[in-house]
Every structure is written in C-alpha cells, then in structure tokens.
Amino acid sequence: MKTLQQIRRELHQIPEIGFQEFKTQAYLMEIISSFNQERLKIVKWKTGIVVHVTGLNPQKTIGWRTDIDGLPINEQTSLPFQSIHSGFMHACGHDIHMTVALGILQRIIESPIHDSMVFLFQPAEEGPGGALPMREWLIEEHPELVPDMIFAFHIAPEYPVGTIATRPGLLFANTSELFIDLQGIEGHAAFPHKTRDMTVAAANLLMQLQTIVSRSINPLDSAVVTIGKMTSGTVQNIISGHARLEGTIRTLDAYTMTHVKEKIEVFCQATELAFDCKVLIDYGSSYYQVYNTEDITQNFLSFANQDDSTIAIECEAAMTGEDFGYFLQEIPGLLFWAGVDSSYGLHHAKLNPDERVIDTLVPFIESYLRSL
C-alpha cells in the first residue's frame, strides 16, 4: 500500500467541488479496495462512500466521518504536489481528513476491535451541503449503517501539531449563505424618473441589514450578518436595473438564525415597497450548529489528556460553520480541532498543513476507538 503521506499528496492534487468528486471517489475506492475485504461492506452514495467494518463481537457501531470536497480557489503554495485542477484547491484540509480516515480504516481492518465501525466519506461539505442528505439517505435506505455514535475532526492552522481542541456543547455556529437579487428598471442617467435604480435600493438595504444584529438581537446572544460582495451597474451613465448582495449569516443559537432571517425578509419586503422593485432571497447552503455531546466530549478530553502524543485543550465556541452538525443533530458524538501549524488560515490559497499531523492523529484516534 502507498504511504499515508503519498496518499495525502495525491489527493491534494485532485480537488473537486461538492458532488463533483468523481476522481476523488475513484481514488478512495482504489485505496479501500486494496484492503482486506473479508469484513467490509461498501456502499456508494452520489460521489461519497460508506464503508462498514464488522467488529469481532459488536455491541454498537462507531461512526467516523470525513469530508472529501475541495474549494474553488486557485492554489498559490508552489508545492511540488500542488493542485493539477486549475482554479481548485484543498484549502480546508479535506485531503488531510481523508488520509487520516484511510489510515484509521486500515488499522481497524488489520487489527479488529470488538465493535463495528462505519466510515462515511461525505461529499459537498463546502457546499451545497452533503451531510443532511447523506444522513437522511442512511436512515431511510440503510438503517443498518447508521452509527450509534459518530466522530470527526477538522484541521486547525493556529494550533501546533499534537494539539487537540474541542469543548462540550456548542463548538461551531449555525451558518447560512445569503444572496439577495434586486430587480428594477434600467435606464439612461439623464432620465432617472423613468428608471427604478437598484444601486440606491441595494445600498439602502445593505445599511438596513447592518442594524439587525445591533438592534434586533439580544446583546447577550451572538450573531453576524456580513455582506461581503455587492454588484450593480454596467457603465457610469446608465442607471442600474439589477443589483446583487452576497453575504453570510452566523448565529450561536438555532432560534436566533430563524429570527435573523425573518428580519431580513421584512427589510426586503420594505425595499420592494419603497423602491418599487422585486427582491428575491436565496439562503444557499445552511448548516446546523455543531453541538458536541457533553459526556462523550468530557470522556474524549480526559483520554486525550492522558495520551503522551497529544496536548488537549478546551477551546471557545467559534462562528465557523460545518455541516457535520447535521449528524450530531441525530447521533451522539463530537468534532474536534487538530493542530497543523500553518501560517495561513483555512480557505487561504497558501494554506500548507504540517503533514506530521497524520502520523500523530491516526494512532491516537485508533487508541481512543479501542478505549470505547
């Protein structure tokens, strides 16, 4: 079998966006097929893969989930194994995630544990979201593959290799994309009364949206409404008939997310009336909060603190989004950060995780699984 480092580098070269991970799926199947198949059951779902490993004396099924998609980012690392797919990159560490999962899978096959395990190679974490439909497919079509508890990790550039960070309860926020299109009437700048100016309408709406958090959310709660992109118009002497706002919503409470969206819709309706236009809202990908099961997380942190290869810390909750939250919504478990010591952050074109995390995590996670 190839080394884990070689696998990671070959995966890094073929990043693909959500539900288009065809090469990635084929590569993963090639590696998985090289393992002893005696106790394996393999099922494909879209561009994802589910691998069930029968335990020696199973009392429960333990789940391990990894995401497999990349991002539409042009890589700027100059690594000898950088992406061969122009305009795409594993800029969120999913190549590391997949490699660790394959390493654990190999060890569990070669040295079985008592319980059964199911490995979920999930597509489309970055969008449009693969966890929720994959979870529902498992429940409806393959209930025998639904784990009794489930685990995952995410690389953390800000921590050194060997650091494990998580917390009981809320770890990641509820998140939602936000796209707003405003449609009016285009016209010559000399005749504004014959137009419906969407540049002005969008600018007014943008300013109103910024009052949601400051005036509609309890100051003791946490929420973010960010408009990161605004487009409108074509040339300087044409009044724009179309504008578009693109942004994100993040909250630490599921109810708050609903409340924020309700306020956005009210402001959009008011904009339609005030500017005699049509406003359309698209929330894009929406992810449920990552809420770690309390007792499982405390047990995990205790185990990690006693392991010589790791330094475990209890971190703060973050406004980061991760669709693994949909699995935790129905199945007990946890997600944790694993340090990779990179000077560039997640989704950066120069992100370069320290590969030593693979050799650290695989035996650590194997030991933890055996302790369960």
- Neighbouring C-alpha atoms within 13 Å toward the C-beta of 34: 12
Widest CA span in the chain: 81
User: CB burial class (10 A; 0-12, 13-18, 19+) of residue 212?
Assistant: buried
Burial class (CB in 10 A: 0-12, 13-18, 19+), 300: buried
Query: Which one of the listed residues 21, 67, 69, 177 is annotated catalytic?
Result: 67
**Catalytic residue flag (residue 366):** no
Is there a catalytic annotation at residue 67? yes
d(CA 101, CA 122): 11
Of these residues, 16, 21, 115, 126, which one is catalytic?
126
DSSP classification of residue 143: G
Do residues 135 and 326 make contact, with C-beta atoms less than 8 angstroms apart?
yes
- The sign of the torsion formed by the CA atoms of 254, 257, 261, 267 equals positive
C-beta atoms surrounding 132 within 10 Å: 20
Which positions are annotated as active-site residues?
67, 126
